Amino acid sequence: MDRKPWNEPYLTDMDLRSFIAGHFWQILASISILYVARKVVLYHRLRKFPGPPLTGFTDFFHNKAFIGGRCYEWYTHASETYGSIVRVGPNTLITSSPDVWTHVNIKPAYKRSNWYYRALRIEHGRDHIFSQTDNYKHGQRRKQMAPAYSGKENPELEPAIDARLRDLLNLIRSKYLSTETRVVPMDLAKKVQFFTLDVISTIGLGKCFGMLENDTDVSNYAESSEKGLHASGVAIGLGFGLIAQLPWIGKFIAPSPKDCTGFGKMMGTCFRYVDERAAKPFDTPSDMLASFMRHGLTHEELRSEALEQVFAGSDNTATAIRGSLLYIMTNPRVYRKLQREIDEAVQTGISSENSSRIVSYAQAKRLPYLQAVIREGIRTFTPAVNTFPRDVPPGGDTVIVDGKLVFLPGGTCIGYSGQAMHHDKAVYGEDAKSFRPERWFEKDPEKLAAMIKTNDLVFGHGNWQCLGKPVAYNEINKIIFEVNVTGNPKALRTIRNLTNVFVVTEKF
């Protein structure tokens, strides 16, 4: 037999090309068969789960909904049509069942899905707590960060929120009060966003952005954050979410703190604020960054976490406040009842009319109707509604869905159908889609407990529950108490849900 000399390649380029040319149709047919076989296997794995047509074969409809900014509406429609666990892609399920979602979030073997969370990285190749998909590393980081959020190590938290709320009240009183002879319109949605951005920069970066003081989107932070969220939503929807993380492409397309505009510019400013704070002492219990440093975050980690907080902590809280205020304003019955409770609180000294003193969080929590209004506000206009996907552990898992045992195959992706869950008639009754704070005075203790448990899922659960929940509640309580809203608001017109954050682009 003829053998090639040892130093000649066994298969030359020419051999390969002529092999492909000679067997082109066979190769094409084999690839097609493999492709179809893979589709059939994938379809078969989750065939028992109902869902919108063709979602068993293609991710097209899921991706389209994601890019469109109204994915939560598609999810809601799917959950209401097909049940509490629905297939929305060949390997993707969503659930509106509070029990299933609670289970998924406390069973340690579930993990965050890469396709969604990795795409939430802000810096090229670097994770922050929200994008971390490795359970061990995530748990370690959470331990380092939790004390700062609990307020125990951060006595400056509440005074900082009070100071920013005072800025908001001063702005309204000095510039936007209407009189009998002149109406002064004000874009409340924008001012609320300025408020939450000023709060998060004060507590998370050690320095206030100054949006309220200047009554403008300083350095276009809000605009660049909206653009960044839009870009990452589109990238995820097109299946390119992970491209920015590839070593040879990522560093050219990811935003850089050296950029003069947009997201990168915002990164640069946040990093500068963090650097200034890190240069000061951090050995006494004081603010958030000091607590992170005491718990061992390196300088680079500190920068990433501080930057991530600006996104995690501003738009969601602004949405919760806007939604609640909108419902209060458009429901005169609720408005009058709430105003009466607040007036009585002021008269009985629970709070003070003195404009320089803001109601304390502890005092606000004692007002039952205010608490009902807040729960109802975040329920009716849920701020974070999709999808927070998790991977089912490799061996699969059995969950209880509507009283029946259901097996979820290993590696399946399962996410959250938030709006359907929080508008579920089985939990909240026939008028589940309406804003009615009185439902929170439910007499049946079992029913009330189920409602509270479901409502608490607005902030996630278990291993990944929102760390900023106490901060958000603090802000929402104070602003609703202090801002006396009246007027004739226009309907919200342009709302998009970008990478899970609501963006309202017209005033109300």
What residue numbers does the annotated binding site for heme cover? 466
d(CA 262, CA 242): 21
Question: Coil, helix or strand for 435?
Answer: coil
- Shortest gap between Cβ of 132 and ligand HEM (angstroms)? 7
Q: Which is nearer to ligand HEM, 328 or 467 (CB)?
A: 467
All residues at 6 or more sequence positions from 168 whose CB lies less than 8 Å from its CB, including other chains: 191, 194, 195, 212, 479, 483
Residues 283-322 as x/- pattern, contact with ligand HEM by CB under 6 A: --------------------------x--xx--xx--x--
- Shortest gap between Cβ of 415 and ligand HEM (angstroms)? 10
Site for ligand HEM in 384-423 (CB under 6 A): 384, 388
Residue 429 as a binder of ligand HEM (CB under 6 A): the answer is no
Which of 65, 168, 254, 471 lies at the binding interface for ligand HEM (CB under 6 A)? 471
Q: Which is nearer to ligand HEM, 205 or 345 (CB)?
A: 205
Residue 197 as a binder of ligand HEM (CB under 6 A): the answer is no
Backbone phi and psi for residue 120, each to the nearest 5 degrees, phi listed first = -90, 0
Which of 168, 466, 498, 503 lies at the binding interface for ligand HEM (CB under 6 A)? 466
Question: Coil, helix or strand for 245?
Answer: helix
d(CA 193, CA 212): 10
Binding residues for ligand HEM, how many (CB under 6 A)?
A: 22
Which of 56, 69, 383, 437 lies at the binding interface for ligand HEM (CB under 6 A)? 383
Q: Which is nearer to ligand HEM, 191 or 375 (CB)?
A: 375
From 69-77, 278-286, 394-402, 464-472, span contacting ligand HEM (CB under 6 A) = 464-472
Question: Coil, helix or strand for 311?
Answer: helix
- Shortest gap between Cβ of 470 and ligand HEM (angstroms)? 9
Strand locations in 316-412, DSSP E? Answer: 390-391, 397-401, 404-408
Residue 206 as a binder of ligand HEM (CB under 6 A): the answer is no
All residues at 6 or more sequence positions from 201 whose CB lies less than 8 Å from its CB, including other chains: 207, 208, 209, 273, 310
User: Which pairs with CB-CB distance under 8 Å and at least 24 residues apart come from 402-410?
Assistant: 402/83, 402/84, 402/97, 406/85, 408/93, 409/45, 409/46
Which of 342, 458, 483, 501 lies at the binding interface for ligand HEM (CB under 6 A)? 458
413-416 vs 92-95, strand pairing mode: parallel
d(CA 154, CA 359): 19
Strand locations in 283-387, DSSP E? Answer: none
- Shortest gap between Cβ of 135 and ligand HEM (angstroms)? 11
* Token couple for 43: 């379809």
Q: Which is nearer to ligand HEM, 435 or 459 (CB)?
A: 459
Residue 464 as a binder of ligand HEM (CB under 6 A): the answer is yes
Question: Coil, helix or strand for 66?
Answer: helix
- Shortest gap between Cβ of 90 and ligand HEM (angstroms)? 23
Q: Are 128 and 297 in contact (CB under 8 A)?
A: no
Residue of minimal Cβ distance to ligand HEM? 468
Q: Is 191 left (phi over 0), alpha (psi -120 to 50) or beta?
A: alpha
* Token couple for 270: 């946040």
- Shortest gap between Cβ of 142 and ligand HEM (angstroms)? 5
Strand partners, 87: 93
Site for ligand HEM in 128-147 (CB under 6 A): 129-130, 142
Annotated binding site: 466
- Shortest gap between Cβ of 15 and ligand HEM (angstroms)? 51
Which of 306, 408, 451, 467 lies at the binding interface for ligand HEM (CB under 6 A)? 467
From 364-372, 402-410, 426-434, 465-473, span contacting ligand HEM (CB under 6 A) = 465-473
d(CA 377, CA 318): 12
Residues at the site binding ligand HEM, with contacts judged by CB under 6 A: 129-130, 142, 200, 309, 312-313, 316-317, 320, 383-384, 388, 458-460, 464, 466-468, 471-472
